[in-house]
Amino acid sequence: MSQPTNVIQTALLLRIVAILAFPVGVGVAALMERSVLMVAVLAAGMLLVSWVERFRLHRLSGNEGYPAITGLLPGFAVRAGFLAGLFIVSLGVLALFRETILARGLGLADLGLFSAVTGVALLANAISARMATREVSSVMAQMNAGFTPPGGTAQAGEGPGEIIEGEVIDRD
């Protein structure tokens, strides 16, 4: 059996991979000298991954319907601003060493980069969620086993006596 801390560390590492996938994708887009439009596409992918996680957590918490979409536009703006800043810095560093000419539009390379980055983030989040769910289930099973009497499941009123407000009251 694996150690719980190893499972939790792996799940957290996968979450970090999912978070860092998009900044790495922007850095790769800058190295490939792709269009500035790629920043908006990657920001939309980042928002998509976030919404997939929101739907999963919404269902996990037992809520019906869909989560509120009030944070959609501000979330996109923050992500696009962060990725645009990273893209500009990456291009600035790249321009120090060679001439840079950006692509004028989106192409198949952009689709491949978007699919790879979004796929890595979605896959890392899905695996991490599955690992965390399994770990929580095993912890809950251990806690339930700790509260179960050694003879199995005993109902209230069955046994040598009951404890009511700190007093042991015999059955006789």
Residue 1 predicted with pLDDT over 50:
no
Give the SS3 label for residue 149.
coil
Q: Does some domain include residue 84?
A: yes
Range of the domain at 27: 4-155
Q: Does some domain include residue 22?
A: yes
Q: Does some domain include residue 135?
A: yes
Q: Does some domain include residue 72?
A: yes
Q: Does some domain include residue 10?
A: yes
Q: Does some domain include residue 25?
A: yes
The two structure tokens encoding residue 15: 């979450």
Q: Does some domain include residue 170?
A: no
Q: Which pLDDT tens digit goes with each residue over 36-92? A: 999 999 999 999 999 998 888 888 888 877 778 888 899 999 999 999 999 999 999
The structural domain count of the chain equals 1
Q: Which pLDDT tens digit goes with each residue over 142-160? A: 777 777 666 555 555 555 5
Q: Does some domain include residue 165?
A: no
Which residue pairs from 70-76 have beta carbons closer than 8 angstroms and sit at least 24 positions apart in sequence?
Answer: 72/47, 75/47, 75/50, 76/43, 76/44, 76/47
